[in-house]
Amino acid sequence: MKTPVHSIPGKMDTYWIQDVHAILDQWTTYVVPLADFKEAVLVKGLNYAKSHLGKAWIVDSSTAKGAFSGEIQDFIGADLFPAFAKAGIKYFITILPKESAVTRMTVKNYSSKVGPSGIKLVEVNSVDDAIEWLKQNK
């Protein structure tokens, strides 16, 4: 069951999946201002994950279009992944876009920055696959 946590209307919805202690971000576009990104992910999502003992972050980009700005990409590597690690997030799970090559490159770029934070990167094909992977890797 998904519990709504936050939304950037028309761009991204954030949910909590209790049975696997994971945040799920479902993106429809990566064209978003840095301030909205920070509010959604670093403030709302991360605080919710911390207060509920989150261990994983799932990013569903399967229908997403566009690319994050360089500013957001830099923020993810320098600030966001270290904050995830400090909060106890152990797994960063991505679901690549099915159609947009530009968005696929964006996901690959920011996902490559997870390693230095000590978080395990997992790539799967669907949200169901991500949940199943987490159930098998508790």
pTM: 0.95
Query: Is 7 within the bounds of a domain?
Result: no
Boundaries of domain holding 102 = 17-136
Pinpoint the alpha helices (H) of 17-113.
34-37, 46-51, 70-75, 81-86, 101-111
Query: Is 58 within the bounds of a domain?
Result: yes
pLDDT of residue 1: 82
Structural domains in the chain (count): 1
Query: Is 3 within the bounds of a domain?
Result: no
Query: Is 12 within the bounds of a domain?
Result: no
What the block records as the tokens of 132 is: 């199943």
Lay out the sheet containing 12-17: strands in order across.
Answer: 2-8, 12-17, 22-27, 56-60, 91-95, 120-124
Tens-digit pLDDT profile for residues 32-73: 999 999 999 999 999 999 999 999 999 999 999 999 999 999
Query: Is 106 within the bounds of a domain?
Result: yes
